[in-house]
Amino acid sequence: MTNVLVDLYLVEAILINNMQESSNLKESTTNYYSYLFKKHQINRQQLLNSMEYYCFNTKELSQIYNDVINRLAAMQTTHDEQ
């Protein structure tokens, strides 16, 4: 789940960053999410089901989000050093 959420937040960041530049935001959004689902071999409903599960298992969700934050922070640090 950590890998999915890391990629999900990267997709969201890309979409927000490109919002003004994109002539067709809906198509871009669809393409990025299709790639995300294909990469992780899941679909939208499976993602929603997983999130629903973790909403009722908050200790697990908290650990997952700690891992997500740490991974994204490490990526940011690597990017800033380049």
> Buried (b) or exposed (e) across 10-36, using 16+ Cβ within 10 A?
ebeeeeeeeeeeeeeeeebbeebbeeb
Please give the Cα distance from 26 to 47 (Å, whole number).
20
pLDDT, one tens digit per residue, over 15-50 is: 988 887 767 888 889 999 999 999 999 999 999 999
In the chain, DSSP finds a helix count (H) and a strand count (E) of 4, 0
Read off the tokens for 5. Answer: 């959420």
Q: What is the pLDDT of residue 42?
A: 98
Tokens 């490109």 label which residue?
18
Whether pTM > 0.85 for this model: the answer is yes
